[in-house]
Structure 1
Amino acid sequence: MEHGVESLRSSLSSRLLLLTISFVMVVEVFVYVPSIAQFRRSFLEERFAAAQIAALSLVEAPGNAISKELETSLLRTAGIKAISLQLDDRRHLMLDGDAPERIAGRYDMRHAAAFDYVLDAFATLLRGGEGTILITDTPLPRLGDEISIIMEERALFSAMALYSRNVMVLSVIISFFTAGLVFLSLHLLMVRPLRRLTRSMVLFRQRPDDPERALIPSSRSDELGVAERELARMQEELRFALNQRKRLAAVGAAVSKVNHDLRNILATAQLSSDRLLMFDDPKVRDMSQRMISAIDRAIGLCERTLKYGRADEPPPDKRTFPLHRLVEEVQTTLGLDQKAQSTGSESALQFRNLVPQDFQLHADQDHFFRVLMNLARNAANAMESTGGEILVTAMRKNNCDFVRVADSGPGLPKKALENLFIPFKGSANARGTGLGLAIVAELVEANGGKVSLERTSDEGTVFVIEIPSPA
């Protein structure tokens, strides 16, 4: 029971209802103040009208004299105690009984302002109808220049109290009726849609991977409709990101199971390659050194395979190194040299290293090898059946190093362009995993740079890597 009361107090609907009732009551108060003043003024004007009728009886009587019984009857019919009339420099008095000992209030309606009527009305209510008041006004022309009446305030107070009670009852009825209409309208137009939004948020937080808990937006075109569509879009994007993380975690778990055996195999190959260094043939020694470097790099990659998206990715070890030599290692690892390599058909692949011999790059050498390796392998795969040329260039401009990897392939397909640098979605062929460009973007950004697609068409594709040069 307590929980239900607390929920009602904290709900938006109950707050709207209470606020609406409060605002309507405040408005009724501002309406009541001038209306009660006007009611008092009308009541007194009616008494003056009755008093003037009684005074006319006195004026029209012979010798301006009437019997005491008639005078008393006229005054009681008018609801007043006495009438004072200034006529022909003489003051005439009509009195019912004895004169009052004390006048509680004196009011001159000839010179009263609107604010004066308000103050006089509340003064009457505060006195509670106890006392006698004197009111002065301008009479009819036949009755002279001034007429004053004395009356007990009890009748005026009773009439004003009844009027106030009626206004209060009517105000309460109007308040609740208006509040009900406003509440119903706001509940249908705002509260229910907001509850639907909050319920969807709570359910989605409990099971964000469950598509059944996603919000289905309505067809509303107002702000709440926009909020529904944006929330639904955000839930879809978040669910995709969570599923992507699960896939990455699954890939990492699978790779960790074969990591140990693969590293042992590479270690065995490394030991075998070391024996080749014992030969005196310079070509054999040179090729063996390259093979050992490639195996060492493969062992290091094996230990960090598919760490994309993990928080324990080590920071880059930035050093200055000759880029031309690193590009040659990429060329050798791909199995390409400066001459055209046969692909088993009339097609051929060419790799051209146009990086200046003395060009120095400041970055993590192993990271940049992986960046160039991924870009070059993607280009080679794209031109596997058609042949073509892979071109690597470098230049320095405005304290930045620009490295371009270009190919003469058929260009990137539309699907790859829409999901460029997005894991598992940016692959240009069915055999790819979609991780290559994502890894490139992550490694370049880790080194303080950025990678972008300069152009792609049926004449080829160009990627540009921008790395800040050291000061």
Structure 2
Amino acid sequence: MAAEGGDDNAYKLPPAVTSLSARLLMLTVAFVMLAEVAIFVPSIARFRLVFLEERLAKADLASLALEATPDGMVSEALARSLLEQADSRAIVIRGADWRRLIQGSAIPGEVGAAFDLRRTSPLVLIGDAFAALWPHTRRLIRVFGASQQDPGLIVETIIDEQPMVEAMYGYARRILNLSIVISLVTAMLVYFSLYWLMVRPMRRVTQSMVEFRHDPEDPASAIVPSARSDEIGTAQRELAAMQSELAQSLRQKTRLAELGTAMSKISHDLRNILATAQLVSDRIAISDDPEVSRLAPRLSGAIDRAVDLTSDTLKFVQTDEIPIRRSRFALGALVEEVGASVGRPEDGRLAWHNEVADDLVINADREQLFRALMNLGRNAVQAIVGQTGRTEKSSGSVAISAGRNEGRLWIDIADSGPGLPEDIRDDLFKAFGFSSTSGGMGLGLAIANDIVRAHGGGIEVVATGAEGTRLRLRLAEI
């Protein structure tokens, strides 16, 4: 299914030459031909050896005519007939101390090469075979070996090499034609098998990915996984799960964006109203009326929380990509500033421990890192102060430590709060996912996570439980 935009967004098959199917077909043909070549090399050597052995066997049979004569000699006419039957120019039979010759009237000529079939090896046979196939002038060759009638005798024959070469070329052509037929048949069988088992399902996966990219919110663009139990079936199911999660996430983000637009307008006006209310609450706080003085801090605190809530909401909605302006500064001094601004109780029951070395100088965006540490520190303070199920006022501590490991900066924030609930840990750094106070919207941790990610790092929960929580920030220093 194509998204809006017509055929420009439609899934198009790649050109036939560069498609996966064509590559599989060509590779199959190439590999089959390569296998045929590996078979042809010893086969042509074997063919040549058999050819020479047949000529030597004919010469051996022709030599039996010499044994039928009393003097071991034959007439010239019979010699020519025997040589024609043996496809030979001359035949020699050798014993331990004697030698007999069958030769026509003409002298055979100069012998170009000699081959002893008694002493051969596969490599020598292959080399001699390709030497014979290599273009050169016609020549006579001498072949000798043991007699089949009497292994103690040596049979020699002088033959023309050209008929053997022509026979070898004919054999090679037959092997080539057979190899082409076998490779094409094999390639087509492999092609259709792979097309049905791999290419066709992969095209479905590719088409679904393209259509999902164009319109991820359209349910029809998601792939319907098959029941296959192999890797492709697993890929289809994983793709379907990923598409479902992404579509759900996009729908949620769309709703949040719409909500954020509306809240930014409301928050802007509400912050102005709260600013006026804050001024009034400050005036009320100095009233001489005891009852008013008692209620004024509660009113002021509620207004302060409302102002912080609207400010955080506006900052989160208005932030698209956080710009990072790096500079070198002492991290310990920044932690001190954060400790003075996180809103600790004035009675001193919550301690702020700055464990950062005085000489630790880092390269980061000071303002943005202050904002991230402020949100994380305030969240830790509120987690301790807001503990439920206790009759006395909550007390505890927040400790900040830092260092470098393998070229990366780490900052730990440890508090003595009640720990993180198990069911919210996966959504801890998502917007509206978790708040340490009952009236918060869970933006502080999301903003801090965005800032740390903009620095090329991330935030992780190192430990959490009844004894407290430890978060670790990892930042890349450029």
Superposed CA deviations along residues 52-74 of structure 1, whole A, max 9, x for unmatched, are 22211122123223332222112
Q: CA deviation at 1:402?
A: 2.0
Contact map agreement 2:24 2:191 (CA 8 A) in 1 = yes
Q: Distance in 2 between matches of 1:454 and 1:85?
A: 101
**Counterpart code for 1:214:** A
C-alpha separation in 2, matches of 1:132 and 1:89: 26
User: Taking structure 2 as the reference length, what is the TM-score of the superposition?
Assistant: 0.72
Superposition pairs for residues 332-411 of structure 1, below 5 Å? 357=349, 359-360=351-352, 392-395=394-397, 401-405=414-418
Unaligned runs of 5+ in 2: 1-11, 325-333, 355-369, 402-412, 453-457, 473-478
Flag the 1:393–1:437 CA change in 2: closer, same or farther, 3 A: farther
Give SS of 2:251's match: helix
In 1, Cα distance between equivalents of 2:380 and 2:151: 112
The residue number in structure 2 matching 1:458 is: none
- RMSD between superposed Cα atoms in Å: 4.2
- In the superposition, relative to structure 1, how do residues 449 and 220 fare at CA in structure 2: closer, same or farther (>3 Å)? closer
Secondary structure in 2 matching 1:93: strand
Are 2:339 and 1:320 aligned?
yes
TM-score by length of 1: 0.73
Which residue identity lines up with residue 7 of structure 1 in the other structure?
Answer: P
Match of 1:384 in 2: none
SS of match in other structure, 1:130: coil
- The alpha carbon displacement at 1:147 in A equals 2.0
Please point out which of 154, 162, 168 is paired with 1:146: 154
Q: Structure 2 CA distance, aligned partners of 1:174 and 1:71?
A: 47
Q: Which has the greater radius of gyration? A: 1
Q: Cα 1:93–1:247, aligned 2, differ >3 Å: closer, same or farther? A: same
Report SS of the residue matched to 2:58.
helix
Higher relative contact order structure (alpha carbons within 8 Å, sequence separation ≥ 6): 2
Cα distance change of structure 1 residues 131 and 209 upon mapping to structure 2, 3 Å threshold:
same
The match for 2:357 is: none
Separation in 1 of the partners of 2:184 and 2:95? 55
Separation in structure 2 between the aligned mates of residue 390 and residue 240 of structure 1, nearest angstrom: 44
Match of 2:245 in 1: 237
Deviation by residue 1:89-124 (Cα, 9 ceiling, x = unmatched): 443221234113321211122223332222222222
Partner of 2:28: 20
- Taking the TM superposition and a 5 Å limit, the aligned residue runs for 1:34-433 are 34-86=42-94, 89-127=97-135, 130-140=138-148, 145-277=153-285, 279-281=287-289, 284-285=292-293, 287-288=295-296, 291-292=299-300, 294-305=302-313, 307-308=315-316, 310-311=319-320, 318-321=337-340, 326=344, 357=349, 359-360=351-352, 392-395=394-397, 401-405=414-418, 421=428
Structure 1: where are the runs of 5+ without partners?
329-354, 381-386, 429-433, 456-461
Percent identity (aligned): 35
8 A Cα contact 1:441 1:450, kept in partner: no
The amino acid that maps onto 2:446 is E
Aligned 8 A contact 1:356 1:394 in 2: no
State the Cα distance separating 1:296 from its structure 2 match.
4.6
Helix, strand or coil at the partner of 1:224: helix
Question: What SS is found at the alignment partner of 1:104?
Answer: strand
Amino acid at match of 1:442: A
